[in-house]
């Protein structure tokens, strides 16, 4: 009997791939934020708004 979590016809474990994506994405985003942290002092102007809090808010919504 074929494994329940594999995509039909392929040997690839579909659930494992999806889970890896979900676990890796927030980590990558936090690394990006860590790289941007020193830039908080230098104001990044994006249409008159500071970009950093915007990214932070997006990250918190992503992790929730």
Mean pLDDT score, 10-28: 71
Mean pLDDT score, 15-41: 73
> Which of residues 57 and 15 earns the better pLDDT score?
57
Percentage of the chain with pLDDT > 70?
47
The chain-wide mean pLDDT, for the chain, equals: 67
What is residue 1's predicted lDDT score, i.e. its pLDDT?
Answer: 46
d(CA 28, CA 21): 10
Backbone angles phi, psi at 27, to 5 degrees: -65, -45
What is residue 9's predicted lDDT score, i.e. its pLDDT?
Answer: 54
């Amino acid at each position: 009997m074929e494994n329940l979590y594999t995509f039909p016809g392929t040997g690839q474990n579909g659930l494992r791939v999806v889970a890896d994506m979900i676990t890796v994405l927030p980590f990558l985003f936090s690394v990006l934020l860590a790289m941007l942290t020193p830039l908080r002092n230098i104001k990044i102007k994006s249409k008159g708004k500071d970009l950093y809090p915007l990214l932070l808010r997006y990250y918190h919504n992503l992790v929730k």
